[in-house]
Amino acid sequence: LQNGPLAGRHILITSGPTHEPIDPVRYIANRSSGSQGTAIANALVALGAQVTFVTGPARAALPEGCRVIAVETAREMRQAVEDTLPVDAAIFAAAVADWHVRNAGNSKIKKTAKGDIPTFDLVENPDILAQVSQRVTGRPDLVIGFAAETNDVIANATKKRTRKGCDWILANDVSPETGIMGGAENDVTLITSSGVTDWPRASKQAVAQRLAREIAKSLTGVHND
Stretch that binds ligand C5P, among 145-153, 177-185, 199-207, 209-217 (CB under 6 A): 145-153
Query: Can residue 125 be called a binding residue for ligand C5P (CB under 6 A)?
Result: yes
Q: Is 171 in the site for ligand C5P (CB under 6 A)?
A: no
Residue 145 interacts with ligand C5P (CB under 6 A): yes or no: yes
Catalytic residue among 3, 30, 42, 156: 30
Beta-carbon contacts of residue 192 (< 8 Å; ≥ 6 apart):
167, 168
Q: Which of 10, 12, 35, 127 binds ligand C5P (CB under 6 A)?
A: 127
Catalytic residue status for 156: no
The answer to whether the beta carbons of residues 168 and 195 sit under 8 Å apart is: no
95-124: contacts with ligand C5P (CB under 6 A): 96
- Beta bridge partners, 168, equal 144
168 lies in the binding site for ligand C5P (CB under 6 A): no
Q: How far apart are CA 218 and CA 223, in angstroms?
A: 9
Half-sphere exposure of 203 (CA within 13 A, CB side): 6
Cα separations in angstroms, 44 against 11, 89, 90, 201, 214:
8, 11, 12, 20, 11
Check binding of 53 to ligand C5P (CB under 6 A): no
Among 92, 187, 208, 216, binds ligand C5P (CB under 6 A): 92
CA distances (Å), origin 134, targets 66, 130, 162:
26, 6, 11
* 108 annotated as belonging to a binding site for a ligand: yes
Q: Reduce the DSSP state of residue 59 to 3 states and report it.
A: coil
Asked if 33 interacts with ligand C5P (CB under 6 A), we say no
- Is 22 annotated in some ligand binding site? no
Binding annotation for CTP: 98, 108, 126-129, 146, 160, 164
Question: What does the binding site for ligand C5P look like in residue numbers (CB under 6 A)?
Answer: 14, 74, 92, 94, 96, 125-129, 145-147
